[in-house]
Chain A
Amino acid sequence: MAHPVQRQAEIVELSPVGAYHRLVLRAEGIAERVLPGHFAALAVDRADGSLLLRRPFFVHRADPAEATVEVVFAEAGRGTRALARQRVGDVVDVVAPLGNAFPIPTGPASALMVAGGYGGVPLFGLAERITEQGGSVGFILGASTADRLFGVEQARAFTPDVLVTTEDGSYGIRGQITLPLTEAMRAIEARVVYASGPTGMLRAVAEVCAREGVRCFTAVEQTMACGVGVCMSCVLPVVGEDGVSRLVRSCVDGPCLDGSRVRWEDIGAVPPDLEGAAAMGGC
């Protein structure tokens, strides 16, 4: 896990990108610690405000020279709406970097990035690392509608292997992101797939990868109270190295998890073979 720090960060940019907001924060000591897949937990209210819990966001870019980190967020509820109302020059309390990072293949490898909605946010830094190592990447970017796509231009600047899907057909291929997935994996001879987006999408991608026999790493999003590993609210069932399934904390043991180890169908349940399930009598 990353070694997080807490900082009062200054907003140096806050601007719309499609349906999202791009937020650039300046604070010493964070950017140089960030790896692709790490997230930041932002306070969204005043120090005496009534919204207590931090909101987690993937770090999109980290620039150690400028001491900045960038997140991209959708307005989803009260917290993100409050964040969107902030101004350049305002101060945001940030804890980062948090979570584990994506495992990166050693040596040159072909990787497919599968991003649903703002899911591309953590994947660009990863794509850079992989190409720096002599590997190659392709992208599939999908969303419900065109304005909820993120990073299409950025992906095209990176590689010609970019497919775009929208569920309403307002941009690119009409349909779900998994529609062109198998073909795209074969076309670029992907050795590994990285997926980020809604849980249902991650599950579908992991299933295709399992069928195709390709490694798959997913960036999961579970609701988090603390983001730092102390509250146990963000758990999901994962098969351990020892073959035993446990509820693991997605904020410290994740969010980047091997898609073949996550028991997707059991998220939100406690199946009887989980470690400690038998002890759940009354409590």
Chain B
Amino acid sequence: MTGADRTVFVNTAAASTGGTGVPSESVDLTAPFGGGTLPNPVTTASGCAGYGRELAKFLPLAELGSITTKTIMPAPRSGRPTPRMAETPSGMLNGIGLQGSGIEHFVANELPWLAERGARVLVSVAGERVEDFAACARALNGQPGVVGLEVNLSCPNADNSGLVFAANPATAHDVVQAVREVAEPTLPVYAKLAPDVTSITDVAKACVRAGADGLSMINTLPGVVIDTDTLRPHLAGVVGGLSGPAIRPVAVGCVYAVHAAMRAGECAAVPILGMGGIRTGRDALEFVLAGASGVAVGTAIFNDPTAPLRVLDELREALAARGFAKLTDAVGLAHHH
């Protein structure tokens, strides 16, 4: 690791071991998740690991803290026309349009397979109306393997001229509240926030008030790529979502701001699942220091299908090299300045 040859922050817990290093295998990676914990903080970002089957060829899913599914809606969706993606500097733009076979198909055909493999599944759900979200949540009650629900608020609201639910605190609140009401009480509900809003902390506060047990941030940033040969937008859907290392500082900034609001007591403290451009354990540690107690790996999977597990190993080493015996000792430490 790079930590060894630099001035490394020594945390108080590490002082008792008398130095900056702890053996990496002894780092306790137990990660707060909702009101409970997961064995480690790493998950896959929704839409970047399908429903797990393909990734299972590259890594044992049960070794990840959890696997987050592609967002599931009540009915099958074709998704948008192609082209659906364009590569951008240190990232990509996607306009997939939430293609999927619907919640019934997922429960009948995908979830049992995941559960058999011992995967802990964070199911991402969405809808065009508040009741669609609730219908998905209800269908997941009592199903095997499900450790939590992630509410994808970046879906256009059919009842509000297509503005996404994440766009304002009130609509985000209503969705989270509806899901929290119908979901099994023991099942954590995470609200997934969009970065392109006036105040992400206001949306975060509304979600937590509505009963969110955790916050996932961030979803992609909207953007357009224009093909200068055809002189037209590159994506068939014109606007797509930007992801990858290019958005990492935006994502870390969002986590930092919301964690700061929690520290200031403006928002009840719930665990944050950080994502946006995580490619290495060092990147993951940035999110942890900003206030995340879990991290999701998305676009980096397209570059390296083993990325989630590699990030986990590298994060363990990065923590050890800096003297952290426990992941939780590092959460939010960047705010202690």
- Against B, the Cβ 8 Å flags (1 = close, 0 = not) of A226-247 are 1111111111100000000011
Q: Which of A133-141, A186-194, A262-270 contacts B (4 or more CB under 8 A)?
A: A262-270
Q: Is the CB–CB distance between A223 and B162 below 8 Å?
A: no
Q: Is the CB–CB distance between B94 and A268 below 8 Å?
A: no
Most interface-central of A227, A236, A275 (chain B CB within 10 A): A275
Chain A residue at minimal CB-CB distance from B82? A268
Q: For chain A, what secondary structure do more than half of its interface residues adopt (helix, strand, loop), or is it mixed?
A: loop
**A4-B57, A230-B55 known; A282-B92 Cβ under 8 A:** no
The CA-CA distance from A223 to B240 in the complex, in Å, is 15
Whether, in the assembled complex, B128 has its beta carbon less than 8 Å from a beta carbon of chain A, the answer is yes
Q: Is the CB–CB distance between A229 and B78 below 8 Å?
A: no
The count of chain B contact residues (Cβ–Cβ below 8 Å) is 54
CB-defined contacts of B97 to chain A, threshold 8 Å: 280, 283
> A43, A52, A281: which contacts B92 (Cβ < 8 A)?
A52
Q: Is the CB–CB distance between B90 and A50 below 8 Å?
A: yes
**A170 vs chain B, min Cβ distance (A):** 24
CB-defined contacts of A48 to chain B, threshold 8 Å: 279-280
Q: Is the CB–CB distance between B302 and A277 below 8 Å?
A: no
Q: For chain B, what secondary structure do more than half of its interface residues adopt (helix, strand, loop), or is it mixed?
A: loop
**B156 vs chain A, min Cβ distance (A):** 4
Whether, in the assembled complex, A222 has its beta carbon less than 8 Å from a beta carbon of chain B, the answer is yes
**A108 vs chain B, min Cβ distance (A):** 35
- Residues of A1-49 at the interface with B, using a CB-CB cut-off of 8 Å, are 3-4, 6, 43, 47-48
The CA-CA distance from A174 to B89 in the complex, in Å, is 41
**A112 vs chain B, min Cβ distance (A):** 29
The CA-CA distance from A100 to B70 in the complex, in Å, is 23
CB-defined contacts of B85 to chain A, threshold 8 Å: 223, 225, 231, 233
> A53, A95, A229, A268: which contacts B50 (Cβ < 8 A)?
A229
CB-defined contacts of A60 to chain B, threshold 8 Å: none
Q: Is the CB–CB distance between A282 and B162 below 8 Å?
A: yes
- Residues of B70-110 at the interface with A, using a CB-CB cut-off of 8 Å, are 70, 73, 75-85, 87, 89-92, 94, 96-102
CB-defined contacts of B58 to chain A, threshold 8 Å: 4, 6, 228
CB-defined contacts of B92 to chain A, threshold 8 Å: 52-53, 225
Most interface-central of A47, A274, A283 (chain B CB within 10 A): A283
Measured CB to CB, the residues of B under 8 A from A are: 47-50, 53-55, 57-58, 70, 73, 75-85, 87, 89-92, 94, 96-102, 128, 155-158, 162, 236, 244-245, 279-280, 299-306
Measured CB to CB, the residues of A under 8 A from B are: 3-4, 6, 43, 47-48, 50-54, 93, 95, 222-223, 225-236, 246-247, 252, 267-270, 274-277, 279-283
